[in-house]
Chains A and B, each alone.
Chain A
C-alpha cells in the first residue's frame, strides 16, 4: 500500500487576470501553467520551464498592491487577485561585437564597448527588477571599479532575461556588462590548470596509445572485467 497524504481534496479555485481578462483557475499553478489552463497557445515566452533560460519574463501586480513587479512566469505561483502578463516576447537588445583576442586590458576596454556603465546613478531599479536576486547595481559598480572577480561572482546566476535593461535610467545593459566581465575574468585573470595542460600534452604525445591498443582489442567480457 502506498502512503496517501490528503484524500481527494479538490484544489481551491481562485481568480486571476491574464492580459486584462479574468479567469477562474485552481491554485497551485505557475503563471505559465495557468495560461495553458485558460487556453492560451504559447510559442514565445516559454523556454526551459526551469527558471534558467530567461524566456518567460513577466510583470504582475498582486491584489490591492500598487506595485508592479517583474518575475519569471515559469517560477511564479499565481495567487487570488493577481494580474499579470508576459513581457519581452523579443527584447531589442543592443549587442556590441567584440573580440577578446584583440584586447590587452579588458578592464579599460569595458568602457570602449559599454561606456554608459560608468554612468550608474544608483537608482537600484535593476536590482529590484532581477528575478534571480542578483545585486545588479553592486555588480555594475564592481565592474566599473575593475573588481571583475566580484562582479563575475554576482552575475553567475544571470539568465539574460533582460528585465534589468529597460528600467535603467542610464541606459546601461547590466546583463551584457555581466557577460563581458565574466568572460574577461575567465580569459585574463583566472589561474591556469597545470593538470589540464599536462593531460592535453599527454594525449597529443600519444602517451595512451599502447593502452588503447590493448583495450580496443579486448572482448566485451574482458572489458567488463578490466
Chain B
C-alpha cells in the first residue's frame, strides 16, 4: 500500500472521533498572519510594476502586467473604420452579467447587440455551484450582509457599491423567481438558506449544486425570447473611442472567417468575466475556457482605471486527483454542511468555514510544511472528507443536495459518499477589476463594466455567493444606465486615438510588449 492509500485510511479511522471537534475560530490577528504568510497574493516575486496607463506605478501579477502592457492585435492588421452595424448598447460577453445587462437595456427601450467569444451562456456563471447570498431571513438584514462582506473583503470594499448590492439583492431574487428560476424551498415556501464561509447568518439561496446552470438557462431563454441579437464566436479585439476620449464602439473578429466587424455604439458594456485561464502563479483553475481577462486590456488601453488588480481568489477546494479533474471546483457549500479538511495524518488544521483566503492559506501551509499528500502526477493536496456530510445530515444528503458533485467523481470511480478526495486551492476569481461607479460606468465615458471584469465591490476577498448577486444586480444596473445614456445621445465618431496615445505611453516608458492582448484563449496545444 502506498502513502496516499495509508493516509486515506487514516482519514477513515479518525472520522468518528472528529465528529464533535470544533476547530477554534481564528482571531483577526491570527487570520491576518496566516494570510500574509501563505496566500499567493502575498508572494512578492509573483508581482511586478505596471509601467503605462492609469495604474502606472502600481503592482499586479506578472501575467496581468504583460496583458495590460500588451500589444493590440490591430497593430499588425489594417482596419477600415467603417461601421458595419450601429446600435445603442453593445454588450461584450454572453455570461450572467452580459445577459442581465442585455435584458435590462432592452427593457429600458434601447437597441441591443450582444457579442461573445464563445457561445451565449459560456461563462463562469453557468459553473457556479454553491449559491447566491441574499439577506432574506427575519434574523438577517442587508446591513449584516454588508458587514460580513466588508470583513471578508479585508475592509477594502467600495462601501457604496456594496451597500447597493446587498439592498438590491432581495428584489433581484424576486425578479429571478418571477422569471422561473426554481430555487430550493422550505416546506412553507420560503427560500431554503445555507451558511457560507465568513457569513454570520445563513443566506445562500441555491438550486441544489446547479445554481449557475439554472440561472444561466433561464437568462439565456429570456435573451432568446426577447430576440436580442447575439453574435457568437465574435470576440472584441479593440474598443473604439470618439474625439473626446469616450467609448463609441468596438472592433470584433469573426473567429470562423477571421474577418473584422466594426460596431458603432452609443454605449458599450464590458461583461467579459474573469482570468482563471491565465493560470496565475501556475495554479489550476475552476474557470471556463474563455476566462482570459479580455476586458482588462481592452478597457485599460481605452483609458480606464483598474482597482484591486493585485488580488485574486484561490478557492480552497479544487480537485487535484484524478489528474483529469485538476482544478475542478468542489463547492464550499459541502463544507457548510459538515465536510472536514484533513492533512496527511488525518488531522484537522483550520475551521472549514473561515473565509476563503484563510482556508486556502491554511491548505497551502499544510502542503508547504510537509503535511500534504502527493498525487501520482506530482500535485499536492489535502483531504476533503465528504462522507461526514451524510453522517451528520442523514444518509442520502450528498446525493440529494450535491448530485452533480457525486456524479462528477463517480465518472472516475470515486464515491464521495464513502471516501475522501484530494483538493488544493484553485484559481477561482479576480477580486479586483475595472473601477466603476454605482451604475457600472468606468472612468471612460460611455464605457460600462459589469460582473467579474469590474472591481471594488468585493474588496480583497469575495465572500461565497456574492458574485452571482453581483452579476445580477450590476448587470441590471449597467444595462439600465447604458440604455438611458444611449437613448439620450447621438452616435459619436469612431477612432483609434486611444491606441495611438497608448503606443506613445509605451514608447515613453520604454515598454516593449511581450504579448498580444486580449489573448482570447489559453494555449493548451502540445507543440512537440
Q: Do A and B bind each other?
A: yes
Given contacts A47-B288, A52-B404, A196-B191, contact A95 B224 (CB under 8 A): yes
A192 smallest CB distance to B (angstroms)? 6
Q: A38-B526, A156-B208, A215-B147 are in contact. Are A47 and B118 (CB under 8 A)?
A: yes
B367: Cβ under 8 A from any A Cβ: yes
CA distance A97 to B227 in the complex (A): 7
**Given A4-B3, A179-B217, A208-B142, are A39 and B525 also a contact pair (CB < 8 Å)?**
yes
Contact between A36 and B525, CB atoms less than 8 A apart: yes
Question: Can you spell out 30 A-B residue pairs with CB atoms less than 8 angstroms apart?
Answer: A2-B373, A2-B374, A3-B6, A4-B4, A4-B374, A9-B376, A29-B324, A47-B288, A47-B289, A53-B126, A100-B180, A157-B213, A160-B220, A182-B217, A185-B182, A186-B181, A186-B218, A193-B136, A193-B185, A194-B188, A194-B190, A196-B170, A196-B173, A198-B138, A208-B141, A211-B141, A212-B143, A215-B146, A224-B151, A224-B155
Question: Does chain B have a CB within 8 A of A37?
Answer: yes
User: Does B521 interact with chain A (Cβ within 8 Å)?
Assistant: yes
Pick from B191, B217, B225, B407: contact of A97, CB under 8 Å: B225
- Complex Cα spacing A100 to B180, Å: 9
Q: Cβ of B344 < 8 Å from any Cβ of A?
A: yes
Give chain A's interface residue range (CB within 8 Å of chain B): 35 or more
Interface string of A96-109 (1 = CB under 8 A from B): 01111000000000
Most buried by B among A2, A198, A224: A2
Distance between Cα atoms of A53 and B287 in the complex (Å)? 12
Residues of A193-221 whose CB lies within 8 A of B: 193-200, 203, 208, 211-212, 215-216, 220
- B515–chain A nearest beta-carbon distance, Å: 18
- Residue A190 lies at the interface, judged by CB distance under 8 Å to chain B: yes
B122-A48 in contact (CB<8A): yes
Cβ < 8 Å to B, chain A residues 54-97: 55, 75-77, 95, 97
Given A5-B374, A43-B255, A43-B521; A28-B163 close (CB under 8 Å): no
Size bracket of the B interface: 35 or more
Q: Which residues of B contact A40 (CB under 8 A)?
A: 525
Nearest-neighbour CB distance to chain B for A165, whole angstroms, equals 15
- List the B side residues contacting A226 at CB < 8 Å: 147
Q: CB < 8 Å: which of A29, A52, A183, A190 contacts B213?
A: A52
Q: Judge whether B180 and A55 touch: CB under 8 Å.
A: no
CB-based nearest B residue for A197: B174
- Which chain A residues lie closer than 8 Å to B521 at the CB level? 43
Q: How long is the Cα–Cα vector from A132 to B188 in the complex, in angstroms?
A: 31
Q: B177 in the interface, Cβ–Cβ < 8 Å?
A: yes
Interface of A is mostly: loop
Which residues of A are interface residues toward B (Cβ below 8 A)? 1-6, 9, 28-30, 33, 36-41, 43-44, 46-53, 55, 75-77, 95, 97-100, 132-133, 152, 156-160, 179, 182-187, 190-200, 203, 208, 211-212, 215-216, 220, 223-224, 226
Closest to A191 in B: B189
Within the complex, the shortest CB–CB distance from A185 to chain B, in Å, comes to: 7
By the criterion CB–CB under 8 Å, are B137 and A195 in contact?
A: yes
Say if the beta carbon of B85 comes within 8 Å of chain A: no
Q: How far is the CA of A105 from the CA of B102 in the complex (A)?
A: 28
Distance of A185 Cα from B183 Cα, bound (Å):
12
- Taking A47-B289, A186-B180, A196-B173 as given, write out 15 further A-B residue pairs in contact, using a Cβ cutoff of 8 Å, ordered by the A residue number: A3-B344, A4-B2, A36-B525, A47-B118, A47-B288, A52-B212, A55-B118, A75-B411, A77-B412, A182-B218, A183-B180, A184-B180, A191-B188, A196-B136, A196-B170
Partner of A191, one of B3, B185, B322: B185
Q: Among the listed B135, B286, B375, which residue makes an inter-chain contact with A5, where contact means beta carbons less than 8 Å apart? A: B375
Query: Are A3 and B367 touching (Cβ within 8 A)?
Result: no
A39: min CB distance to chain B, Å: 6
Instruction: Contact check, A47 vs B324: say whether CB atoms are below 8 A apart.
Output: no
Contact B3 A3 (CB under 8 A): yes
- The minimal Cβ–Cβ distance linking A90 to chain B, given in whole angstroms, is 8
* Minimum distance in angstroms from B158 CB to a CB of chain A: 12
